[in-house]
Amino acid sequence: DGGITQSPKYLFRKEGQNVTLSCEQNLNHDAMYWYRQDPGQGLRLIYYSQIVNDFQKGDIAEGYSVSREKKESFPLTVTSAQKNPTAFYLCASSPSTAEAFFGQGTRLTVV
Amino acid sequence: AQSVTQPDIHITVSEGASLELRCNYSYGATPYLFWYVQSPGQGLQLLLKYFSGDTLVQGIKGFEAEFKRSQSSFNLRKPSVHWSDAAEYFCAVGASGAQKLVFGQGTRLTINP
């Protein structure tokens, strides 16, 4: 089945630790996105990539990093510089029509 | 810059009643418009989309939306809601060429039995 797979579903991070969230798609989409969702704040764009080996900062990129070495993969690293990382993270991909397809999300909690 | 406003944070309707969720957008050109639905702890599912043409678009699960350029609106409607429609609904605006989507704050829908 075609789709977007995010893993893990739940992730716990200790203070000062970097963690990486995985996002893989087999839809052959060029564009991929990472959004952060907090209660009452909708979805905010962290990073996006429209082509392999290229990505752009979104509205809240500080404390996050990404890579796009393969078309299918767009991992997100939450670094220790992100002071409030507890949130629900959503990965999406898009063909040229701008319609986005979403994964099931990763819930990150700081412990 | 693009922006989307969903004026209603939370709406409660009775099962079987009609529903309208409001969405207003700001965009410099002809927008691509979307409505997504999210169940708790899940990703977003596309309900419907508007790119061009007929301003009344039909989506899945019996939903429809109407694009009104003069009012910069793209309101979502359903004639008769079911308990399974309880979820959060997001309106989004974008452009062609796989440009990023901008989302509204979301409207949480509660259904009374």
Alpha-carbon distances, residue A23 vs A68, B31, B81 (angstroms): 11, 28, 34
CB contact under 8 A, A102 and B43: yes
**pLDDT score of A54 more than 90:** yes
Chain A nearest-CA distance from B97, in A, is 5
Chain A nearest-CA distance from B82, in A, is 23
Q: Which residues on A lie below 8 Å from B102 (Cβ)?
A: 45
pLDDT tier, A33 (very low <50, low <70, confident <90, very high otherwise): very high
CATH number of the domain at B67, please: 2.60.40.10
Tell me which residue has tokens 């704050």.
Answer: B105
Q: Which residues on A lie below 8 Å from B99 (Cβ)?
A: 98
Any idea what the Cα angle at residue A108 is, between residues B83 and A68, rounded to 5°? 105
B72 lies in which domain range?
A: 3-112
Number of domain units in chain B: 1
Read off the pLDDT of each residue in A66-75 and give the average, rounded to a whole number: 97
pLDDT tier, B95 (very low <50, low <70, confident <90, very high otherwise): confident
pLDDT tier, B97 (very low <50, low <70, confident <90, very high otherwise): low
**pLDDT score of A67 more than 90:** yes
- State the pLDDT at residue A36: 96
Residue type, A88: F
Is B53 in a helix, a strand, or coil?
coil
pLDDT, tens digit (0-9, with 9 covering 90-100), for B27-84: 877 789 999 999 988 999 999 999 888 899 999 999 999 999 999 999 999 999 999 9
